[in-house]
A = this chain, B = another copy of it.
Amino acid sequence: MTDNLRRVTELDRLIHEPARLLIVTILSSVESADFLFLQRETGLTKGNLSAHLSKLEDAGYVKIHKTFKGKLPLTVCKLTAAGTKAVAQYRQQLQSFMEMTTQ
């Protein structure tokens, strides 16, 4: 084990932010999820959920597909391959940090 605690500072900040960590964690457990489902699950306001999703989309971690359910807008979100990889790496890094410092 290369006991390099310092690595914790290299965590992907985009995923590290708790609200987004929650979002991507949910997304990684389902095939895809719509906006309102994510809002219910996360408890975030629409505004903040929208903003976080935009950042994840800009980073290429989430694909957002806008369509309609009947006459109402429907926003479907799905983790991309890059997103899945980033989440896995984040978890890996965090897990090794925790293991290095078992108290």
Q: Which residues of A contact B (CB under 8 A)?
A: 5-6, 8-11, 13, 16, 18-19, 21-22, 25-26, 28-29, 41-43, 88, 91, 94-95, 98, 101, 103
Q: How many copies does the complex hold?
A: 2
Q: Is the Cβ of B88 less than 8 Å from the Cβ of A94?
A: no
- Nearest CB in chain B: distance from A90 CB, A: 11
Return chain B residues, CB-CB under 8 Å to A88.
103
Return chain B residues, CB-CB under 8 Å to A13.
18
Return chain B residues, CB-CB under 8 Å to A41.
5-6
Chief secondary structure at chain A's binding surface = helix
Q: Is the Cβ of A22 less than 8 Å from the Cβ of B43?
A: no
The 8 closest A-B pairs by CB, nearest first: A9-B18, A8-B18, A8-B22, A25-B101, A11-B18, A6-B43, A9-B19, A8-B21
